Structure 1
């Protein structure tokens, strides 16, 4: 893992057993972990939501590095974002709504993907190995390349300048993607009930099956 420490300047720690799982690094012991809360935090979302965000923000530089770890996607954001997440969700009117969306911040770890050049080879041998979907770039100021609560000079990076989107925009998109997944799962579990309730809300309640 010298690449992270020597070229990127990211702190790395070894995880082990239950302690590693509690730190957010996964159940396996002895897995190198990237320390969050120092150079960056990480938003943690289901893989489906993560891929939806990658599709929504395809422009290079709009998002920071993005990693896939099993069925979870970790999107690197500015350090301190984990502390801002609850208040930000409340401000965005997502407060009190169950979302499979969390953040790894100070005192946590995320499993370290292999170097991008051999990450796919490692994943071919170990399907559970984390990999980079959008790898970090050596020589790029990590702090300037991450979505943050305040983005100087550009509110959304929509002009192609390479400025990342703001943290509020990213959290709003992530919350929407996670909520859609939850609604879809609920519809599959209770198709009749969900459909009936949806049509009531829309003002098109179906006629009784017995009428």
Structure 2
């Protein structure tokens, strides 16, 4: 379950129901991101970016440690972090190298070349966008998960950066401090290791809570 953001964490941006063609136009013509055919609009992955998909609870905790220097989306109980194109191919080997591979079976997946993700509803100050190229018909909202379960941006892409927005990548390895940098992305190694750690911690807490509930339901044994 997605918990409320901690102080200093950007709130989700809830849409005011722009039309599909407006959404598609914004992504393709303002950001320069290709979309996949069909409705609702979907963003093609593996071209401008790949996606790391994880439980939102673990995602909140990880980003609280890393900073928010790259686009992040939320849909229901799942969080999507945008990373450099090609990262999806690196994820299995990276998890194994970090000793998070099998048999741990983390709830962490990557979407890369040939895939797609639901296009989060754009958010902006006006129905037609602002003078800086802001998206159409947007607004701010504080409800995680968006309107009727639609994907929303927690930290949206910046139109002025477009396709050149900085994203977590292996090439940035070792260039940032241990806590990351809110003005830029952490390297992919640090990002994956932090996310994996938080997913594992959430799993352990749930397992511990389940064991405690089961123990409470057992009758006391007397000799």
TM above 0.5: yes
Distance across 2 between alignment mates of 1:186 and 1:171 = 22
User: What's the counterpart of residue 25 of structure 2?
Assistant: 2
Larger RCO (CA within 8 A; separation ≥ 6): 2
1:51 aligns with 2:57: no
Structure showing the higher helix proportion among its residues: 1
User: What's the counterpart of residue 72 of structure 2?
Assistant: 66
Structure 1: gaps (5+ residues):
16-29, 195-208
TM-score w.r.t. the length of structure 2 is 0.71
1:37 aligns with 2:37: no
1:54 positional shift: 2.4
Distance across 2 between alignment mates of 1:169 and 1:162 = 16
Structure 2: gaps (5+ residues):
1-23, 125-137, 216-220
Contact conserved, 2:32 with 2:162, CA < 8 A, in 1?
Answer: no
SS state of the match for residue 44, structure 1? strand
User: What's the counterpart of residue 93 of structure 1?
Assistant: 99
Distance across 2 between alignment mates of 1:36 and 1:114 = 17
TM-score w.r.t. the length of structure 1 is 0.75
Contact conserved, 1:156 with 1:163, CA < 8 A, in 2?
Answer: no
Partner residue of 2:191 out of 161, 170, 173: 170
1:140 positional shift: 1.4
Partner residue of 2:121 out of 114, 128, 132: 114
Sort the Cα spacing of 1:85 and 1:33 in 2 relative to 1 into closer, same or farther, 3 A: same
Q: Please tell me the root mean square deviation across aligned C-alpha atoms, in Å.
A: 2.9
Contact conserved, 1:78 with 1:143, CA < 8 A, in 2?
Answer: no
1:162 positional shift: 3.3
Contact conserved, 1:11 with 1:34, CA < 8 A, in 2?
Answer: yes
Partner residue of 2:109 out of 102, 105, 123: 102
Correspondence 1:3-18 to 2 at 5 A: 3-15=26-38
1:45 positional shift: 0.5
1:184 aligns with 2:205: yes
